[in-house]
Structure formats: structure tokens, C-alpha cells
Amino acid sequence: MSLPEALCTNTLETLVARGGLTEITGADGGAYQVLHSAMGPDPVGSVRIYSGERIAKAVYVGIVVPQIGLDSHMVFAFMPEDSPVPHFTLDSVAAGGHLAFHLDLIQRADAGTHMVYNDWAHTPLTDTYKEVLALEGLSRAELDNRQLTVMSAWMLASRATPEAFGQLDKPVAAYLEHWFSLVEGDVPAEVQAGLADTDLAERDARNRALLFSPEVDKVWAQISRLITEPVAEGIRAQLVSNELPA
């Protein structure tokens, strides 16, 4: 198993086990969707979808195309639309001869006006965030400034040497552990009071529409070329909404 696949798969397994998630399978009892491309007759990946009681929806997308050196794995775990708990995301990739990762808890309120919320949802991640930035072998990922506006200030996104990438298990586990503490705990009264000005469901819908917009994140153009635009649009539809497939 490659470094990117192992990092994402181990995280997904923890999400499923600790979150008590149930997989929504395809007609054959396997992955919800098997992905193909024009690169050859064999499958190039899969989409797996899960749901649970506290966690509304989790989506895994893996695409592996050795012919072009692509080994991409991502998982998103989404909370209910009206919950203030951030969504969890991990993206681990080998592409173009480089390893890269993206780790974040996607904020549910305007960070610039909700410091009490920040201190509950994100500030406990600060030490881990700084530890990762201090690792040797990391270089900042090239993200458009517009993309950064839909992510949190504690988002980590870097290219990494194999040695540095091999040290990511601990910080990913730390982000996931903090996230589960929010998922499994109660929302403090002061946090709830501070969010009285925010329609959480409306903000979530708008934020996710931008987060997964092909106009904001250009990676969707690459995915569309690889697996066709209709298939890529079907994946996006699973990410922008908590609606579960029939």
C-alpha cells in the first residue's frame, strides 16, 4: 500500500469504527461507485459513502492511475447541516513525482467575528499545526488565495518528501482526535450563544458549494478530463450535500 493510500485508509477506518458508520454499497455489495477512465479498461478508483447517527455523511474518493503517476485518496466527514461542529477532511496524494497532503477541520462560522467559536473548534489544534509546519521536508502547496478563504486558518496543505510524509500519522490522528472530541461532546452554551447570528445550514450550503466549485478549485477540471465530466459532477454532488444516495 502506498504512503498516500495508507494514510487515508487508516484515517477512514478510524472514522468508520469510532463514528459507528454504515457503508452505502453499490448493487454488487461493494463500493458505491467504481471509477473508470479513458486510460484503459481497468477501474481506476472508487467512491465509498457512509452514514451514521452523529456524523451525517462520509465520502471517500480514491483514484489511482499508474500511467500518469497519480495516486490520490481523500476523505470528507460531514456533520449535520445545523451543527456547529466542523467537517473533517484529509487529502493524500502522489502526483507528478511529488507527495502532498491537505488536512483541515472546515469551519462552520465566520472566523473573523466568532472568536469563542474559534477557540472551541480550532484553537486546540494550534500546537499540532505548528509542529507540522516545523517538519523538515515540507514545502507549501500552491493554493489559490480564493481557495484559502473557504478553509480554516488551521488548514495544513503541503508537498512532502517521503520522509516527511511518513511522519504525518501522528498529526492526522491529533486532528481527528480533536474532531471526535467535538463530535462526541456537547456544544458549550457560550459557543451556541455566539453563533446566534449564524444560520448554520445556510452557511454550510454556501460554503460547500464554493469549497467544491470547479471555478474555485481547478483540480475538478483535471478530474473531469480523467473520468469524464458527468462522473466528476456526480462526485461533487455527493460532497456538496448531506443527502444520501437511494
Write the pLDDT tens digit of every residue in 181-236: 999 999 999 999 999 999 999 999 999 999 999 999 999 999 999 999 999 999 99
In a domain? residue 245: no
Max Cα–Cα distance, the chain, nearest Å: 55
pTM of the model as a whole: 0.96
Indicate the pLDDT class of residue 9, thresholds 50, 70 and 90.
very high
Closest to 47 (Cα-Cα) out of 23, 70, 14: 23
In a domain? residue 128: yes
What mean pLDDT is predicted for residues 83-105?
96
- Helices within the chain (DSSP H only): 3-19, 115-121, 126-133, 145-148, 162-165, 169-184, 189-194, 200-211, 219-227, 229-240
pLDDT for the residue numbered 48: 98
In a domain? residue 235: yes
Closest to 11 (Cα-Cα) out of 79, 58, 52: 58
Question: Using alpha carbons only, what angle is made at residue 9 by residues 123 and 153, rounded to the nearest 5 degrees?
Answer: 20
In a domain? residue 246: no
In a domain? residue 61: yes
CATH code, domain with 93:
3.40.1500.20
Specify the number of domains making up the chain: 1
What mean pLDDT is predicted for residues 29-50?
94
Mean of pLDDT over the chain: 96
pLDDT for the residue numbered 241: 97
Residue 236's domain comprises 3-240
